[in-house]
Amino acid sequence: MDYHEILISGFGGQGVMAIGKTLAEAGMYEGLNVSWLPSYGPEMRGGTANCGVAIAKGEIISPIVLEPDYLIAMNLPSLDKFEAMVKSGGAIFVNTSIVKHEVTREDVRAIYVPSMEIAAEIGNPRVANMAMLGAFIEATKLLSYDTIVAMLKAMFTGPKASLVALNEEALKQGAKCV
């Protein structure tokens, strides 16, 4: 792995920023250079939100993601807006719980993840983003699954420590979609 850019987009409240921050933290944990640049729409919850993540062995020139290798589209406006930006040979991850359209490009890999259904089956709708992250980690192998779990354990401590198992189950179920 030399240099990879990831764009994660969806509605506020879908955990878009959490996916990006987890990837950035995991990259640092693995000794890589990372950048994480959030962008919010006019509202925090329900408005548009996206973030760009760069993960590299070498120097990161800019935190702005203009030609992502990977797109995680948690809603249709995100797919519509950013599909054309993905580099040829890249991959687009689509939340089929909301997005009923298929990726139109043939020069990228499309990975369809029913993240909200996975979260509902697990028993908590708030882990849909972790299902998508599990699919991303499985498909790209950019970072270690064990590192992602370590990040969850670092994030959820004290009274929230019980959330680690729930989020880890979501990761595993999302990975099965690949």
pLDDT tens for the chain, 178 residues long, are 589 999 999 998 899 999 999 999 999 999 999 999 998 766 555 667 999 999 999 999 898 999 999 999 999 999 999 999 999 999 999 999 999 999 999 999 999 999 999 999 999 999 999 999 999 999 999 999 999 999 999 988 999 898 999 999 999 999 999 9
- Tell me the fold of 3-114+140-153: Pyruvate-ferredoxin Oxidoreductase; domain 3 (3.40.920)
User: Left (φ > 0), alpha (ψ -120 to 50) or beta: where does 109 sit?
Assistant: beta
Rg of the chain on CA atoms, in Å:
15
Q: Cβ–Cβ contacts within 10 Å for residue 168, how many? A: 18
The span from the CA of 5 to the CA of 85, in Å, is 11
pLDDT value for 13: 85
pTM: 0.94
Q: What residue ranges do the domains of the chain occupy?
A: 3-114+140-153
**Amino acid identity at 86:** V
The span from the CA of 123 to the CA of 119, in Å, is 6
